[in-house]
A and B are shown apart, each in its own frame.
Chain A
Amino acid sequence: MAMLELKNVHAHYGKIHALKNVSIKVNKGEIVTLIGGNGAGKSTTLKTISGTLKPSSGQVFLNGEDLAKYPAHEIVKKGIVQVPEGRRIFGQLTVMENLDLGAFTSKDKKKDAQTIEKIFELFPRLAERCRQVAGTLSGGEQQMLAMGRALMTNPKILLLDEPSMGLAPVLVDNVFKTIKILHAEGTTILLVEQNARMALKTASRGYVIQTGKVIFEDDAKKLLENEMVKKAYMGD
């Protein structure tokens, strides 16, 4: 059984039909990527998963349980955590306070301390700057912080919304390296990206979404070689 499954999901913003019959599966321990252009419905898909936008029809399952009845903040407790697009760190709080708020749903202080240790191991830069105001971090560091903050809950599945957006090429490489490390440690990841080449190189499977519909679904390697995908999303 898939860990996360979207089954025939439709979603609307008022009259705009943003998602049309989207079905996606993410198995435990997988990196799955969802690629597509601007306005294709990538972020909307993530919104229906994290509960901030309820599907108008269709279901979202986590380990077989329908998530429709849970409000957004309960879904976080279920183990689905999102790293929002554009990082959205709490710029006026310190790095430590950001991480602390990431662990908001947790009530086990000891475990939180261990998780912080782990995150600092993964991102040593954050440890160096733990008392600095987060808004003064560089873009790459802010992305680290956003990911660290999401990891504070020890999520079952991590939703990454365009983590490479607005970063220099070197830093983009770093972000994808980190994603691989997280994957190696056993985190399940759904990666939404515009940088299709990097995303498909990192992921095991991929979905291509266009105007609210999933148009391709295949192993990442095969998608990398798909002429249509190459032409539309990799500029070849």
Chain B
Amino acid sequence: MTKAQSLWNHGVKIGAIGGVSVLIIALVGMIESFGKRDIISGILPMGIAMALIICILVAYIAANKTPICEKSVKFANAVISGFVTSGFLALLVAIGRSFNIRDMFVGASPALYKALTAGIAGAGGIFLILAVGLICGIFAGILIILNDLPRKLIINALATIFVLGLLQELIIPIFKSWDFGVTNYLGKLFYTQNGLTIFGTVLAAVIYCIISLLWKANQDTIKTTYKDLPKGTRKKVKTFGFFVLAVFLIVLPQFLGLFLSEVLTIVGLYILLGLGLNIVVGYAGLLDLGYVAFFAIGSYVVAILTSPEIFSFGFNFWQALPIAVILGITAGVMLGIPVLKMRGDYLAIATLGFGEIIRILVLSDFLKPWLGGAQGIGAIPNPNFMGFQMVKPQHIYYLILAGCMLVVFISIRLKNSRLGRAWMAMREDEDVAQAMGINLVATKLFAFATGAGFSALSGAIFASKIGSVYPHSFNLFISINVVCLIIIGGIGSLPGVVVGAAVLMGLPELLREFAEYRMFVYGAALVAMMLLRPEGLWPEARHKIELHGDDETQTQTAA
């Protein structure tokens, strides 16, 4: 290989990877279906924004991976990568316009070409794509050359604009619901019917820059002032922080409309599930893929006990709840006993089977007289709290919030307990844990039981929230979703569960277009996470050290 070739190698190779990625999202129809919503009104549709982000990101990576430290080479590689990436799209448009490839790729429609070329017919559109790719590359190249501070500012300001545009449906109703003159005015200033206004875009970027510069200038002072505070005061500041958070969580549904509160309850239920599975997978290291079984058990117990449809036990929600949780725990132990000796993949497969068994049981005709079969059980009454009927999602929200608080509290206590230490040892090395005098049987069963109990609690609330239960609500995907949210959030981390649930469950609800590509996006997100941030979005302190090394310990070793 000549020297010149090896210099451009990275740009071409990584640019091609970017090109294939962009092709895929174009051909599965994502660019087109995301094109209906604008990030910046009339200028930048969301689909195009995604393609641009990929193009810039890939160019940036290409430049970053270039081992030669001369900035000009890095810059050139970024430009080449951007050009190569856009080349794939240009080729797609060129081919697609002359031949009909829709038989193979349903997404390859004239509307896609129109979106990609901004409606310019002929060679002009193709040149436009290539020019935009080149600009993306140049932009990424400039980012590489810049110093840390301006680079971070630009990237984060763009991210802010993207997020503001992405979440417009979340933000606009909040502006509207307050119905003050000011908020209405603000709403109109920033947003049109579809996307940010140009003025709003610039303003958001400027505001972000000002705030982050202010923070940058003062963060050291603020941090040292906080550190210098006496211990008692620091504790007070922390308590005050928790207090503010609590008030925020309590008043939250009052500002959000019906729809957003509904999204919040879905996220909340998944947080409950995630916290439970976090104990099994994160603390004890047992990969359980049949976790939905306990969710189903919790739901069905509440349904059978409270609904008049099959039996008329006439229990209310509060009487049924503890029974549901206890039966969930029992089921957890019953699943645990046969799989005690299994590890890793084998355990995952066995538990996967258990989850399916429960779903098929409730679906079966044989058990129909007791469990309702495919028709499920309906007419589950809403929970009643001291004479107050919890009907709206805003009401259920408080029930879920209380559940989450309880479960978080239990999780924290367990983690620092003797049992928590036993889990930690077992996760690291089962044989040695036993040699340290840890009772593996009890420790494993406790993990399964605790996780199952939390899951059943979530299921119980789910049943009374929806008002009916059907076998198909308890399919494998729920288990997979929960495992995904734990991995994306950060295994073993409680805030990670919350972040993971919000990202994986909340975002698809807010972005209707995502729904169709949910599994695709999950897969892509998991791969991206494993490559870029294997410790999760909000990792537990320990995992961060493992995967990235701790500077402190490294210097210690060196010394």
Selected interface stretch from B81-89, B182-190, B196-204, B549-557:
B549-557
Which residues 98-143 of A have a CB within 8 angstroms of B? 100-102, 104-105, 129, 131-133, 136
For residue A76, give the distance in angstroms from its CB to the closest CB of chain B.
3
Q: Would A76 and B425 be within 8 Å (CB), given that A92-B542, A136-B557 are in contact?
A: no
Which residues 412-434 of B have a CB within 8 angstroms of A? 418, 421-422, 424-425, 428-429, 431-434
B221 within 8 A of A: no
Selected interface stretch from B237-245, B297-305, B436-444:
B436-444
Which residues 72-105 of A have a CB within 8 angstroms of B? 72-74, 76-77, 81-82, 84, 88-93, 97, 100-102, 104-105
A88 and B437 within 8 A (CB):
no
Complex partner residue of B437 from A84, A97, A104, A136, CB under 8 angstroms: A104
Complex partner residue of A82 from B421, B435, B439, B440, CB under 8 angstroms: B435
For residue B259, give the distance in angstroms from its CB to the closest CB of chain A.
43
A133 and B545 within 8 A (CB):
yes
B556 and A84 within 8 A (CB):
no
Which residues 341-359 of B have a CB within 8 angstroms of A? none
A105 and B556 within 8 A (CB):
no
A153 within 8 A of B: yes
B542 and A104 within 8 A (CB):
no
B546 within 8 A of A: yes
Which residues 378-434 of B have a CB within 8 angstroms of A? 418, 421-422, 424-425, 428-429, 431-434
For A52, what are the chain B residues with a Cβ–Cβ distance below 8 Å? 431, 434-435
Give the most central of A82, A101, A153: most B CB within 10 Å.
A101
Q: Would A101 and B425 be within 8 Å (CB), given that A73-B440, A132-B557, A136-B553 are in contact?
A: yes
For residue B446, give the distance in angstroms from its CB to the closest CB of chain A.
14
A71 within 8 A of B: yes
Q: Would A93 and B424 be within 8 Å (CB), given that A133-B546, A133-B553, A136-B553 are in contact?
A: yes
A188 within 8 A of B: no
A205 within 8 A of B: no
A149 and B553 within 8 A (CB):
no
Number of interface residues of B (CB under 8 A): 24
For A59, what are the chain B residues with a Cβ–Cβ distance below 8 Å? none
A77 and B437 within 8 A (CB):
yes
For residue B83, give the distance in angstroms from its CB to the closest CB of chain A.
44
CA distance A153 to B425 in the complex (A): 16
User: How many interface residues does chain A have, given as a range?
Assistant: 20 to 34
For residue A182, give the distance in angstroms from its CB to the closest CB of chain B.
18
For A133, what are the chain B residues with a Cβ–Cβ distance below 8 Å? 545-546, 550, 553
A102 and B542 within 8 A (CB):
no
B436 and A101 within 8 A (CB):
yes
A194 within 8 A of B: no
B435 and A84 within 8 A (CB):
yes
A50 within 8 A of B: yes
B425 and A129 within 8 A (CB):
no
Q: Which residue of A lies closest to B552 (CB)?
A: A131
Complex partner residue of B546 from A81, A92, A132, A153, CB under 8 angstroms: A92
Complex partner residue of B439 from A73, A81, A84, A131, CB under 8 angstroms: A73
Which residues 152-181 of A have a CB within 8 angstroms of B? 153
Q: Which residue of B lies closest to A52 (CB)?
A: B434
For B436, what are the chain A residues with a Cβ–Cβ distance below 8 Å? 76, 101-102, 104-105, 149
Q: Which residue of B lies closest to A82 (CB)?
A: B435
Complex partner residue of A72 from B435, B542, B557, CB under 8 angstroms: B435
CA distance A104 to B440 in the complex (A): 13
Q: Which residue of A lies closest to B421 (CB)?
A: A101
For A93, what are the chain B residues with a Cβ–Cβ distance below 8 Å? 424, 428, 542
Q: Which residue of A lies closest to B428 (CB)?
A: A90
CA distance A207 to B437 in the complex (A): 28
For A100, what are the chain B residues with a Cβ–Cβ distance below 8 Å? 421
B435 and A104 within 8 A (CB):
no
CA distance A76 to B553 in the complex (A): 32
Which residues 59-77 of A have a CB within 8 angstroms of B? 71-74, 76-77
B431 and A88 within 8 A (CB):
yes
A91 and B431 within 8 A (CB):
no
Q: Would A72 and B545 be within 8 Å (CB), given that A104-B421, A104-B425, A136-B557 are in contact?
A: no
CA distance A88 to B434 in the complex (A): 12
For residue A102, give the distance in angstroms from its CB to the closest CB of chain B.
6
CA distance A140 to B498 in the complex (A): 42
Complex partner residue of A71 from B431, B439, B553, B557, CB under 8 angstroms: B439
For A76, what are the chain B residues with a Cβ–Cβ distance below 8 Å? 435-437
CA distance A100 to B435 in the complex (A): 14
For A102, what are the chain B residues with a Cβ–Cβ distance below 8 Å? 436
A contact set with B: CB distance below 8 Å? 50, 52, 71-74, 76-77, 81-82, 84, 88-93, 97, 100-102, 104-105, 129, 131-133, 136, 149, 153
Instruction: Pull 6 A–B residue pairs with CB atoms less than 8 Å apart, ordered by A.
Output: A72-B434, A73-B438, A73-B440, A76-B436, A104-B425, A132-B556
B contact set with A: CB distance below 8 Å? 418, 421-422, 424-425, 428-429, 431-440, 542, 545-546, 550, 553, 556-557
Q: Nearest 3 A-B pairs (CB), nearest first?
A: A76-B437, A105-B437, A90-B428
Q: A101-B421, A105-B437, A149-B436 are in contact. List 18 more A-B contacts (CB 8 A).
A: A72-B435, A73-B440, A74-B437, A76-B435, A77-B437, A84-B435, A90-B425, A90-B428, A100-B421, A101-B425, A102-B436, A104-B425, A105-B436, A129-B556, A131-B553, A133-B545, A133-B550, A133-B553
